Amino acid sequence: MGSFRGQLALAAVVVSAAVGASAAWASPLRVLIKDSPNKTQSNRTRATINGIVIHDTEGRFIGSVRVLQRAWTRGSAHFVVSRRGQIVQLVPVTDVAWHAGNAWWNLHSIGIEHEGWVGRRAYTEKEYRASAQLVAYLAHRWSIPLDRGHVIGHAEVPNPYRPGFFGGASGHSDPGPYWKWAHYMQLVRYYAAHPVLPKFVKRMTVLPDAPVPHAQLVTRAVVPVRHVVRRSTVDRNATVHGKALWWSGVTAATQWRRHIWKVDFLVDGKTIYTDHTWPYSFHRTIGWDSSSVGNGRHMLAVRTYGAHHYRTRKSVPVRVANPPLRVRITGAVSGGAVDGLLNIGARTNEPVERLALYVDGKPVSRDASPPYRLLWDTRTAVEGAHTMLVYARGKHGTHRAALTVPVVVANAPTFPPALARNWLTRRGLGDMLGRFDPEQ
């Protein structure tokens, strides 16, 4: 059902957009719509889809399409492109295909397989062009930026279990060193400027597989691109900070065998999130806010519920290391003189529940929303030395910070003899500038 809906939606867009299409293309791109059971029915939108992952089939076109259509493969891709430049769609773009070996990337990307091999110089110009036309169209349709941070190879997909490793969970290296990225991205940008609208068809003559070139020795290592955003991931003994991605570890195979219907996520023994949809991740793409607990060791756990009373509990010890809460103020400096109604601006490096100003240990002012302002009428205080303390409390109460600022209240036009030092008040500064005008 989901696939039918998705394809219809896609077809509708093509029809409405076709009016503005360039008529110069005699043989427009055609995409043969097929089906694969290897998908997660979803309702993805422009907001959900964020990238495109390039793969190779490691096999001939027709055979590969068939393999990806079999349930036991538990793998799929949205599209498969042949060396002859033909394209088959197996999963509607609105659904999740299982291709990246990384739940986050599966949820947020479109997977495109290319007939080819990591170790063979096999990609053809027809294949590059058909794929580039398709990608240019998809990028426009789903608002995907056309750069190498959003159009990446499977080899560049982060390994969800091993930070710093790539190629998804199983360390794939496709599309390999023979995939000409610069050439491909140039074509993609060309077709973005000269769009070719694909025609989605139910029937198409699939040409027999092109002859396959011999294997070559791979000598170059695949170097992952650097600008792929790395986020912390909840994993056994991992060090996490900020919002960390946290996947249940329930694979498609387990889901299928055990009929998992619920997954609880626990932090230090308390269930704080429950997910009912595969692949079961903590707040999906947002992740777990590690600043909700203090820095140090914490015991996270995942509890899985399946059919026939199937239950598992997996503990995931992690170390949380977030930067400490910091407060900065304007309007007063340590050791400086203050007078009149003091208006102190405060900034913090993370959202806080509230900020409070204490003078000599007594509360004077507080603010709960940015931009933070703290007020103190110094005219109510005796002349002389006082201690201001700005106190901040983090959103979850786990982070606190206190900033001590010694000041001298100097409201009287002349300092008391006890303070006969070179304190400079704002009023004093004004007087001084008035008396010694540098222009004169």
The site for Zn ion (CB under 5 A) is made up of 55, 154, 172, 174
- Shortest Cβ 144–Zn ion spacing (Å): 18
- When the beta carbons of 115 and 174 are compared against Zn ion, the nearer one is 174
C-beta separation of 119 from 216 below 8 A: yes
Q: Closer to Zn ion at the Cβ: 42 or 102?
A: 102
Q: What is the DSSP letter of 143?
A: T
Residue 127 a catalytic site member: no
Query: What distances in angstroms separate CA 184 from CA 154, 303, 383, one per listed residue?
Result: 15, 44, 73
Shortest distance, CB of residue 297 to Zn ion, whole angstroms?
Answer: 36
User: Hey, what are 223's tokens?
Assistant: 């170097």
Name the residue nearer to Zn ion (CB basis): 174 or 367.
Answer: 174
Rounded Cα distance, 433 and 427, in Å: 10
Q: Compute CA distances 143 → 134, 192, 405, whole Å.
A: 14, 12, 50
Closest approach, Cβ 229 to Zn ion, in A, equals 20
Which residue, 55 or 108, is less far from Zn ion as judged by CB?
Answer: 55
Taking the complex as a whole, how short is the minimal distance between the CB of residue 154 and Zn ion, in angstroms?
3
The radius of gyration computed from the CA coordinates of the chain, to the nearest angstrom, equals 31
Comparison of 58 and 264: residue with beta carbon closer to Zn ion: 58
Q: Which of 58, 113, 127, 350 is catalytic?
A: 113
User: Least separation, in Å, of the C-beta of 344 and Zn ion?
Assistant: 56
Cα three-residue angle 84-90-96, rounded to 5 degrees: 130
Closest by CA position to 294, among listed 402, 400, 399: 399
> Torsion-angle region of residue 242: left (phi > 0), alpha (psi -120 to 50) or beta?
left
Give the span between the Cα atoms of 344 and 332, in whole angstroms.
Answer: 7
Quote the least distance from Cβ 396 to Zn ion, whole Å: 39
For residue 350, give the nearest of 328, 381, 382, 318 by alpha carbon. 328
Question: In whole angstroms, how far apart are CA 359 and each of 326, 353, 388, 390?
Answer: 20, 20, 5, 9
- Alpha-carbon gap, residue 26 to 33, rounded angstroms: 21
**Under 8 Å between Cβ of 106 and 279:** yes
- Nearest alpha carbon to residue 55 among 35, 75, 39: 75
* Shorter beta-carbon distance to Zn ion: residue 112 or 346: 112
Smallest gap from Cβ 100 to Zn ion, in A, equals: 8
Between 113 and 339, CB nearer to Zn ion: 113
Which positions are annotated as active-site residues? 113
